[in-house]
Structure 1
């Protein structure tokens, strides 16, 4: 397969700075100067928090590094039970199941809800893992324009008019990772409820940041069948989960190969995620504070002449358009000590290459100054 030079991917190695707020590029085992981290998804900076580290270390001594088996064999540990129970209460759902990765959790969620007799209606920009799940399920896929609930309404109406008992599943995200945008989740849930469609909502990037006390945009809403989330972002750990009702929980436990045939989430990661959840409960304003900071950054970038990044959360996409100019901006920022990543097709649609800026809870105003000075005056239009 021939890949254009501007779209070739390469692995880079990074050494976290001691304060956890920067990253050192490592070349030939030598770490370079630290760069301000505007690229990772560690939104609340919890990956280096002493309480997460202590919890992981204690569980490491108690349970070892890995679980040694699947949850249905010998892999379940008390820490798994505690984390699932705590999340069940925090998210106001009936049951939670843990997974080693978000990709795996999304596969399991889709395959639990859909089969070859199902029609899946999905936002055009859902994560690749969700699309892989739809493909594996054999369901018929229909896609609607990004966050366009009117288009979704029309598709649901058409499906029901063709067949009243059609099995329908809608898939969307509460915070899209490359767009920074969110749908009207209450309206989305109501629409699915009205048409008898199951709704799978991926809250991976919203949890810990958006919604009441950072508990996501789907909290307390009827009409949401399943929520998927990860611990590798705002929770600062690793692994993922599905939260759902009793009926879906039993179906997942009895039939999901993605749950049954995998080694359980490493106990130290589960312990760290549980410590992160305790911190979130104790600091319910962390997410809203980060949203306020994100809006200040949006105002500043707009005042500098750049198109205002969409959304309200900590993901700020600066649309550039072409692959090469976007790479050049990335290189310019790195030379100025700021790390952000040029996101190019096929990750995003053709002609929409962008710089994906990611804000973190502890970032200073100096980071914004460095970014704006390195970018210069914007002449871009979205």
Structure 2
């Protein structure tokens, strides 16, 4: 067993949904906790319409698909979800994957090989790093959200080049200037992969992510259904050529059991709800701004970014753990994020604001946090 310091040892905790959508219960917890940790940004994982759509598909098509998409696993709900996403994102082709981890590995395998230089933001998700290693590309990392550093490295790298970033960094709460990044890639002939997992449903025009409406092209978008969609699984979206390439060559698509049909049906219903409620994202962003104001008023540094992820950087691992436990004693759940998930010396509480969190939670949170 690896020698892991006590302050970095991970433990599994089992949670049950509480009486209200924002509550979680655990055997080891004295009382239900108000959930300020999960990524269900729009509260759709318990939405009655989403649940009913998944239940209908469960009764009609069964729990699992029973095979890969290229054998017997493809269902009408898969095709309907792919077509709806393609229209929503203005992309030619979408392919579904059982997980975001698989989708990101598939994306890098399609765009890069051992002859490629991948220039990636220093804080990209672990799944993207695994994908870069798997395809054998040369990895170059640029300073977080630093377009000048990226431009310099892209201009100096021998082709072919792939640039990798995220539209909402899940531990930082920050977003890059994607317009500038896409323009830089277009100028130098580099491909661009953007992970929109945490932005879709919340950021961009009508929640369509920060790639929507860019002047320069984005080669491939990676997205997941386990965040704002309230479901599970993932997808890749691109033009017709890259979609056909993925269909014909992606091992992560070919050699895996297809996404469970109820998850696909639930995600499709969630997408329909997002389309019919285009104000959900802007309302959540506005509320997140008020939460940031509240934290500043209470003496805390303003969390970076604009979206629903609000990190409170504390530095030491034990300091983050102590704050987590103190908040739990007051009925609030937020998780201490420690290295290697975040850089050394930047352990933090990762606060997550969701649409269904009750009014008054910000005041309750700042009172429970106390002084920095």
Shorter-chain TM-score: which interval?
over 0.9
Kept in 2: contact 1:175–1:181 (CA 8 A) = yes
With structure 2 as the length reference, what TM-score do the two structures score?
0.98
Separation in 1, partners of 2:90, 2:30: 45
Match of 1:363 among 343, 357, 362: 357
Q: Could you list the per-position Cα deviations for residues 88-128 of structure 1 after superposition, in whole angstroms to 9, with x for gaps in the alignment?
A: 00000000000110001101011100000100000000000
Q: Could you list the per-position Cα deviations for residues 292-348 of structure 1 after superposition, in whole angstroms to 9, with x for gaps in the alignment?
A: 000000001011110100000000000000000110000000000000000000000
Separation in 1, partners of 2:250, 2:357: 40
Kept in 2: contact 1:112–1:256 (CA 8 A) = yes
Partner SS, residue 118 of structure 2: strand
Separation in 2, partners of 1:33, 1:286: 30
- CA shift at 1:19, angstroms? 2.4
Separation in 2, partners of 1:113, 1:147: 22
Which residue of structure 1 aligns with residue 155 of structure 2? 157
Which residue of structure 1 aligns with residue 164 of structure 2? 171
Which residue of structure 1 aligns with residue 73 of structure 2? 75
- CA shift at 1:251, angstroms? 1.1
Kept in 2: contact 1:95–1:245 (CA 8 A) = yes
Matches within 5 A, 1:206-355: 206-221=199-214, 222-355=216-349
Separation in 1, partners of 2:359, 2:347: 26
- Does the C-alpha gap of structure 1 residues 35 and 3 become closer, same or farther in structure 2, counting only changes over 3 Å? same
Separation in 2, partners of 1:158, 1:147: 18
- CA shift at 1:22, angstroms? 1.0
- CA shift at 1:38, angstroms? 0.3
- What root-mean-square deviation, in Å, do the aligned CA atoms of Structure 1 and Structure 2 show? 0.8
- CA shift at 1:26, angstroms? 2.3
Partner SS, residue 13 of structure 1: coil
Separation in 2, partners of 1:32, 1:231: 32
Separation in 2, partners of 1:223, 1:126: 20
Separation in 2, partners of 1:120, 1:2: 32
Which residue of structure 2 aligns with residue 96 of structure 1? 94
Kept in 1: contact 2:21–2:356 (CA 8 A) = no
Separation in 2, partners of 1:121, 1:229: 20
Separation in 2, partners of 1:278, 1:262: 27
Partner SS, residue 176 of structure 2: coil
- CA shift at 1:52, angstroms? 0.7
Which residue of structure 2 aligns with residue 189 of structure 1? 182
Kept in 1: contact 2:66–2:258 (CA 8 A) = yes
What is the aligned residue count?
370
Mark the runs of 5 or more structure 1 residues left unpaired by the alignment.
none
Partner SS, residue 350 of structure 1: coil
Separation in 1, partners of 2:220, 2:292: 32
Match of 2:367 among 335, 356, 373: 373
- CA shift at 1:250, angstroms? 1.2
Separation in 2, partners of 1:57, 1:372: 39
- CA shift at 1:32, angstroms? 4.4
- CA shift at 1:368, angstroms? 1.1
Which residue of structure 2 aligns with residue 5 of structure 1? 6
Separation in 2, partners of 1:376, 1:87: 43
Which residue of structure 2 aligns with residue 147 of structure 1? 145
Matches within 5 A, 1:51-90: 51-90=49-88
- CA shift at 1:271, angstroms? 0.3
Partner SS, residue 264 of structure 1: coil
Separation in 1, partners of 2:245, 2:113: 13
- CA shift at 1:366, angstroms? 2.0
- CA shift at 1:18, angstroms? 2.8
Q: Which runs of 4+ in 1 moved over 3 A?
A: none
Mark the runs of 5 or more structure 2 residues left unpaired by the alignment.
none
Separation in 2, partners of 1:205, 1:218: 13
- CA shift at 1:25, angstroms? 1.6
Match of 1:116 among 100, 111, 114: 114
- CA shift at 1:367, angstroms? 1.4
Which deviates more, 57-66 or 247-256? 247-256
